[in-house]
Amino acid sequence: MARRPLVMGNWKLNGSKAFTKELVEGLKKELAGVEGCGVAIAPPVMYLAEAEAALNCGCSCGGKLIELGAQNVDVNVQGAFTGDISPEMLKDFGVKYVIIGHSERRTYHRECDGFIAKKFAALKTAGLVPVLCIGESEEENEAGKTEEVCARQIDAVLNSLGAEAFNGAVIAYEPVWAIGTGKSATPAQAQAVHAFIRGHIAKKDKAVAEQVIIQYGGSVNDANAAELFTQPDIDGALVGGASLKAAAFATIVKAAAKAKN
Ligand code: PGA
């Protein structure tokens, strides 16, 4: 089964109202007419309204191609949870994809596998698409624990929600040592882990494993993306730094569209 690739920009803690408008305008120009690849941007939640407005201009530019994402979500639906943002609030701004389990949240906010699985469940209930980030640290990599760590992070969802939860979901394999370091995994290294992840889900449900999008993330840029996308189990990318420049991000999207069609 052919999977439609997905390239998503994770803006992290970057931007402003003006920056959001400018980058979205730039992306619409660069991506007009591009087909065969899903595209999403995840600006800071503060700027979802600006991004939504800039994307929905009603003309036939590349805006229609670009979906909105968010970088985080909370597990509660409403009530006395100061500072939290619910899945329904994100939906209210036209969000489709929500990143959960990013290593920066696992590290700086001590989010554990069980809590991330709860976020996964909350997103499924709301009809949003979880983009579940998994990946090993440098230390774990050097100790040969990559597969063990990825399996554990996937199992938190598999064991609590079942394999069906991955129907229509997205996984982003992001080795922590590759994030923001300029040191991407090689295409062969990433492919091996992607095949492992797919195989791990296939042990529970082959059909679910076949359709699940597995993005690679970690220092993806306009120069290394095309080669990564030649790998059969790499279904697109989650892009940090390079998603802040319209031309570089568009080059990555076009590379995915070309490699997968
Ligand atoms: P990077 O970040 O592309 O800047 O390495 C990727 C990510 O953290 O999602």
pLDDT at 48 over 80: yes
Within-domain flag for 61: no
| 86 is a domain residue | yes
Let me know if residue 58 belongs to a domain.
Answer: no
The domain that contains 130 carries what CATH number?
Answer: 3.20.20.70
The three-state secondary structure class of 172 is strand
Active-site residue, from 67, 102, 136, 194: 102
Tally of structural domains, the chain: 1
**Domain that residue 96 falls in:** 13-27+77-260
The torsion angles phi and psi of 231, rounded to 5 degrees, stand at -80, 135
- Rounded-to-10 torsion of CA 227, 209, 241, 65: 90
Whether residue 174 lies in the annotated active site = yes
Q: CB of 103 within 8 A of CB of 176?
A: yes
* Residue-level pLDDT at 1: 58
Q: What was the pLDDT predicted at 261? A: 86
Whether 35 shows a pLDDT value over 80: the answer reads yes
pLDDT value for 2: 85
The tens digit of pLDDT for each residue in 156-201 reads 999 999 999 999 999 999 999 999 999 999 999 999 999 999 999 9
Q: State the pLDDT confidence band at 61, using cuts at 50, 70 and 90.
A: confident
- Whether residue 40 lies inside any domain: the answer is no
Binding-site positions for substrate: 10-12, 180, 219, 240-241
pTM > 0.95: yes
- Number of neighbouring beta carbons within 10 Å of residue 191: 18
pLDDT 10s digits, 197-235:
999 999 999 999 999 999 999 999 999 999 999 999 999
In terms of Cβ atoms closer than 10 Å to its own Cβ (0-12, 13-18, 19+), residue 226 is middle
Q: How confident is the model at residue 57 (pLDDT cuts 50, 70, 90)?
A: confident
Query: Closest Cα to atom 6, ligand 1: which residue?
Result: 240
Q: How far is the CA of 6 from the centre of ligand 1 (A)?
A: 15
Quickly state the pLDDT bin for 113 (edges 50, 70, 90).
Answer: very high
**Spacing, Cα 22 to ligand 1 middle (Å):** 21
Closest CA to 161 of 123, 195, 131: 123
Measure the CA–CA gap between 128 and 222, rounded to whole angstroms: 29
In a domain, 89, yes or no: yes
Average confidence score pLDDT of the chain: 97
